Amino acid sequence: MKGLIKVVRGSAVILACLLIVYQAAPAKGNFAKKGVIELGGSLGYSSQTSVYGSQTGSTTSTIQLSPYFGYFLSDGFELGVDPFSILSMSSGGSSITQIMFLVAPSYNFTTNGSVYPFVEALLGYTSISGGGETGGGFSWGLKGGIKINVTGNGLLNFGLQYAQYTYTPSGASERYGFNTISLSGGFTIFFN
**6 burial type by CB count under 10 A (0-12 exposed, 13-18 middle, 19+ buried):** exposed
Per-residue pLDDT tens for 34-89?
Answer: 999 999 989 888 888 889 888 998 888 888 888 899 999 999 999 999 767 777 76
Work out how many domains the chain is built from and give that number: 1
Strand-pairing partners, residue 128, are: 98, 135
CA dist., res. 129 & res. 12, Å (int): 38
Q: What domain range includes position 169?
A: 2-191
The CATH number of the domain holding residue 45 is 2.40.160.20
Global pTM? 0.79
Per-residue pLDDT tens for 13-31?
Answer: 555 554 554 444 444 558 9
Per-residue pLDDT tens for 139-182?
Answer: 999 999 999 999 888 999 999 999 999 999 988 899 999 899 99
